[in-house]
Amino acid sequence: MRLRPLTCDMPKPMVPILDKPFMHHLVDLLARHGITEVIFASGYKWQIFQDYFGNGSRWNLTCRHVVEEHPLGTAGAVKGVQDQLDETFLVFNGDILTDMDLTEMVKAHRRRRAACTISLTEVEDPSIYGVVETGEDGKILNFREKPPRNEITTRWINAGVYVLEPEVLKTVPTKEKYSFERQLFPSLLAGGAAMYAFPAAGAYWLDIGSPEKYLAAHHDVLSGKIHLLLEAAVENKPGILRGEGVNIEEGALIVPPVYLGEGCRIKKGAVVGPLTTVGIGCQIEEEARVEGAVLWPYTKVGAGSHLKDCIMGAGCNVGTSCSIEPMAVVQSMSAFPEGTLIPPGTKIER
């Protein structure tokens, strides 16, 4: 719900990061680390996953799709595909953008003969996450979900990537809502299972599940904090990634770093950037300014309008002389007449 209204039309794992669904970038990561089979356990708008990923041949791996009739929680969803898990497997939360070394994580898991290995990342404020306390040997000692700030003992949190052995699913009830974080992991620990941490020190990690973090993910990609595979984009000038058929009229100003999607048009006098993502087929009219914003495909920004640090869904039509202020989030296919002002933090649903 935190990403509404963007998720009114699109499941959260499929929201775009630089014109590719978030999950596309995750599958890229899996393929780079030699993963050969991927199972999508999806519910809300599950057809979007099947239509986009198909059988996985684009990545030279096999994709399977399982549809949840009712949400079963993080562990319940994996229990539903237990019959397809006969060896060591990985589980990912559907909103974690990372470049962590999965190959090393699996090696560490096998070296320790662990039943469960949980990736950790260090954050400034662990109170909104699940804290994981470990011993010197990396063995997990305790879990604490969202501890009060005055009770924080470590800044290392559950990073939402797990390596598991099939037997850990034996105690998960069938067709019942069940959580890895709040139920299965504490139960395994209490039962003496071999559970270890994999601190992903130095890896990029971001939960994209809020508008602020989603916007930050784009800024981080453009700033080079994480490198994604962007087959259709070329960097013909430092800090300017552009797809095919981009039309930048004379007199337009592009301030890097920016991403300009295939077929977009920037008219004379417009200013785009820095830290701006302009999706496929977008059009920025004369004297408009777009800075720090994310525009999904086929959005039009009218002459003289100013968009700053906002998120616009696909196919939006912003009239002339409009102002869309920081952290405004607008659902796809929305339209605004001349002179519209959208205050900071506003969420617009059709």
Give 235-277 pLDDT, tens digit per residue.
777 889 999 999 999 999 999 999 999 999 999 999 999 999 9
145 and 253 assigned to the same domain? no
Quick one: 185 and 47 in the same domain?
A: yes
Residues 13, 182, 209: CA angle, nearest 5 degrees? 25
Helix (DSSP H) and strand (DSSP E) numbers for the chain = 6, 32
Total domains in the chain come to 2
Q: What is the CATH number of the domain that holds 21?
A: 3.90.550.10
- Note whether 236 and 205 are same-domain residues: no
What's the pTM? 0.92
Domain that holds residue 26: 6-209
Same domain, 147 and 284: no
Q: How confident is the model at residue 220, as a pLDDT?
A: 96
Q: Are residues 148 and 282 in the same domain?
A: no
Give the whole-number percent of the chain exceeding pLDDT 70: 98
**pLDDT at 233 exceeding the cut of 70:** no
Question: What is the three-class DSSP state of 229?
Answer: coil
- Report the mean per-residue pLDDT for the chain: 92
Same domain, 87 and 19: yes
Mind listing the pLDDT tens digit for each residue in 31-85? 999 999 999 888 778 888 989 998 988 899 999 988 888 888 888 989 888 989 9
Flag whether pLDDT at 93 surpasses 60: yes
Residue 219 lies in a domain: no
Two structure tokens written together for 74: 């993080």
- Domain annotation covers residue 143: yes
| Residue 170: burial class (beta carbons within 10 Å; 0-12, 13-18, 19+) | exposed
Kindly compute the dihedral angle of the four CA atoms of residues 173, 179, 184, 190, in this order, to the nearest 10 degrees: -120
